[in-house]
Amino acid sequence: MGSMVFPQFRRAQHGVPLFEGTVLEHATKAGIVIASECGGKGTCGRCIVRVERGAECLGAQTPAEVAQGLGPAERLACQAMVVDPLGEICIFVKDFGEYTIVSDRLETKAAFDPFVRREGDRVVNAVGGDLGPYRGRILGLAMDVGTTTLVMDVVDLEDGKLVGTAACKNPQIAYGNDVISRIAHTMTHENGLRELQDTLYRGIDESLQTLEAGHGPIRDRVYDVVGVGNSTMRSIFMGQPVDSLGVIPFEPFLLDAVSATAGELGLALCADATVYGPPLIGGHAGADALADILASGMYEDPQVNMLIDIGTNGEVALGNKDKIMTCSCAAGGAYEGATVGCGSGAIEGAIKNIAMNDGHVAFETIGDKPPVSVCGSGLIDLLAELLRSGKMTRKAKIDGEFSITNTLSINQQDIYQLITAKAGLRLDQDLLLKYYGVTLDQVGKLYLAGGFGSFVNPRSAVAIGLLPDAADKVVRVGNAAVAGARQMLLSQAMRREGESLARRIQHTKPNEMEPEFPYLVADKMYF
């Protein structure tokens, strides 16, 4: 008998035995939730999956699928029927459900001086380029191209005011939950980079179309774009190769800032619009980490501060106006459901916080929906509560499975994945303090950025060792990456500041610098 594999989920990485049913039915049998709103009729288009392998084992597209205009290798999970139960099928899910999108909490302080302006009835840029006739508005787009989500601010470049915010899941998730999967796709498929780029651009276009419904024409009025992301995401966004990030020494093809026109890249905006990708710091610390540092203001503060951005990748920055050091590690896979049976990203119905009292588990879910999974902040609470209640030892051991709900539970393997993920990030924090030559007492603020930074309970994170014992120093800054991108959109001086700053930041690679690195990680795994 053949099997259907869902590589994005630990619970189905080894395959579900095939039977005569749809991909959606196989996913349900494996305990995987695929977004669907039409009851399997094929009309909502939410259950799109990508068939990486074994497409010949599925029946032909149904009329409902043809009507959806699916991309290459895409099918509707509710319509794609298994016709060869002896084959092997590999499925990537595009839509895990509605994500909670994190906005930033920071104001733009830079002097208003955008790269694009109006001269008479023309729109021009600061280097003398004529971008076409004035159409009533000059808009800019500040974007955080995240591994999991895309968040973009549309800004009026004539007065600096925010027009609206659009957000969506990064549709590249259909090629894998993490950057390594996407790098591998570009290395193993002839047109892999272009596929990922086009997929990303479709997601951007669809989000802006949705925003236009309430704000009028936007896309053909966008004349300037600033897009930040980690080294992989910014490179894909700008159409640059990423294979060097997948092999030693894991460095980007180009660290410098890059620019192109929307027409050259294939973005559905004003064809002559400038698309600016700020510089990368080094390794996997990209333009998003640079934007975090700019938005927090730590680069001009005489006090030494620490910034932690916990996402699919984790970045740590430490420093002040005189010196900043950074490092990065893979942090979020376990806390976004990639390797934890009950885990998921911050989707509707995910348990976001947990408390235990006399063995009773109390929780809240995102959107107050019935529980379908546990997101990162809930997993951190769960570990802290298991430890506090004595149901987990300080060696991270539990007896059997622990039930959260009737259908959700956590086991020893799940806990191993979580403590391994937190160990690397915590070690990076401690080693940066060592390299910089300061103690935790000498650190003023502990900025938390990204989704975890907005929702995590700092005291739970301290209890499990994910954060240092400094919960009173925590300052939540939300999506500082898009805030930094917005600053560079509204101020040419901030672009220059970012380019200068990126060259001054010292990026470290503790895994290469520390001969005993594996043992140091192991020491951070326990409590």
Query: 54 in helix, strand or coil?
Result: coil
Range of weakest confidence among 35-44, 61-70, 177-186: 35-44
CA dist 151 and 481 (Å) reads 9
Q: Express each pLDDT in 418-438 by its tens digit.
A: 999 889 989 999 999 999 999
Name the domain boundary from 257, 289, 321: 289
Answer yes or no: is 320 within a domain. Answer: no
CA dist 460 and 466 (Å) reads 9
Portion of the chain with pLDDT greater than 70, in percent: 95
Name the domain boundary from 289, 308, 323: 289
Residue 207: pLDDT over 60: yes
151, amino acid identity: V
Q: Express each pLDDT in 259-298 by its tens digit.
A: 999 999 999 999 999 999 999 999 999 999 999 999 999 9
Residue 52: pLDDT over 60: yes
**Whether residue 89 is found in the same domain as residue 122:** no
**Whether residue 154 is found in the same domain as residue 216:** yes
- String of DSSP letters for 217-260: --GGGEEEEEEE--HHHHHHHTT---GGGGSTT---S--S-EEE
CA–CA distances in Å: residue 448 to residues 432, 445, 470, 488: 16, 9, 12, 21
Answer yes or no: is 369 within a domain. Answer: no
Answer yes or no: is 294 within a domain. Answer: no
CA dist 296 and 308 (Å) reads 11
**Whether residue 124 is found in the same domain as residue 89:** no
- Comparing CA positions, the residue from 482, 476, 448, 495 lying closest to residue 145 is 482
**Whether residue 264 is found in the same domain as residue 149:** yes
Averaged confidence pLDDT in the chain: 91
CA dist 245 and 436 (Å) reads 26
Of the pLDDT bands very low, low, confident and very high (cuts 50, 70, 90), residue 394 is very high
- Comparing CA positions, the residue from 55, 43, 130, 59 lying closest to residue 88 is 55
**Whether residue 202 is found in the same domain as residue 146:** yes
Residue 11: pLDDT over 80: no
Question: Tokens 């302006």 — which residue?
Answer: 117
Note the pLDDT of residue 108.
Answer: 67
**Whether residue 251 is found in the same domain as residue 138:** yes
**Whether residue 78 is found in the same domain as residue 189:** no
Range of weakest confidence among 7-21, 227-241, 251-265: 7-21
Residue 9: pLDDT over 80: no
**Whether residue 273 is found in the same domain as residue 127:** yes
Answer yes or no: is 276 within a domain. Answer: yes
SS3 readout for 458-504: HHHHHHCCCCCCCHHHEEEEECHHHHHHHHHHHEHHHHHHHHHHHHH
Note the pLDDT of residue 344.
Answer: 80
**CATH number for the domain harbouring residue 218:** 3.30.420.480
CA dist 60 and 80 (Å) reads 8
Of the pLDDT bands very low, low, confident and very high (cuts 50, 70, 90), residue 157 is very high
Note the pLDDT of residue 441.
Answer: 96
Answer yes or no: is 425 within a domain. Answer: no
Q: Express each pLDDT in 69-123 by its tens digit.
A: 888 899 999 999 999 999 999 999 887 666 666 666 566 677 899 999 999 999 9
Note the pLDDT of residue 96.
Answer: 65
Strand partners, 12: none
**Whether residue 41 is found in the same domain as residue 178:** no
**Whether residue 79 is found in the same domain as residue 134:** no
Of the pLDDT bands very low, low, confident and very high (cuts 50, 70, 90), residue 168 is confident
Of the pLDDT bands very low, low, confident and very high (cuts 50, 70, 90), residue 462 is very high
Give Cβ neighbours of residue 401 (< 8 Å, ≥ 6 apart).
409, 410, 411
Q: Express each pLDDT in 118-149 by its tens digit.
A: 999 999 999 989 999 999 999 999 999 998 88
The residue segments making up the domain with residue 278 are 116-289
**Whether residue 15 is found in the same domain as residue 137:** no
Task: Provide φ and ψ at 63, rounded to 5°.
Answer: -55, -35
Range of weakest confidence among 38-47, 216-225, 384-393, 410-419: 38-47
Rounded to 5°, the CA angle 227-491-235 comes to 20
In this prediction, residues 399-413 reach a mean pLDDT of 92
**Whether residue 67 is found in the same domain as residue 208:** no
- String of DSSP letters for 134-158: --S--EEEEEEE-SSEEEEEEEETT
202, amino acid identity: R
Answer yes or no: is 247 within a domain. Answer: yes
Question: Tokens 């509560």 — which residue?
Answer: 385
Answer yes or no: is 417 within a domain. Answer: no
What is the domain count for the chain?
A: 2
Question: Tokens 């939730």 — which residue?
Answer: 33
**CATH number for the domain harbouring residue 71:** 3.10.20.30
CA dist 314 and 481 (Å) reads 13
Answer yes or no: is 104 within a domain. Answer: no
User: pTM, whole model, 2 decimals?
Assistant: 0.85
Name the domain boundary from 237, 271, 289: 289
In this prediction, residues 311-339 reach a mean pLDDT of 84
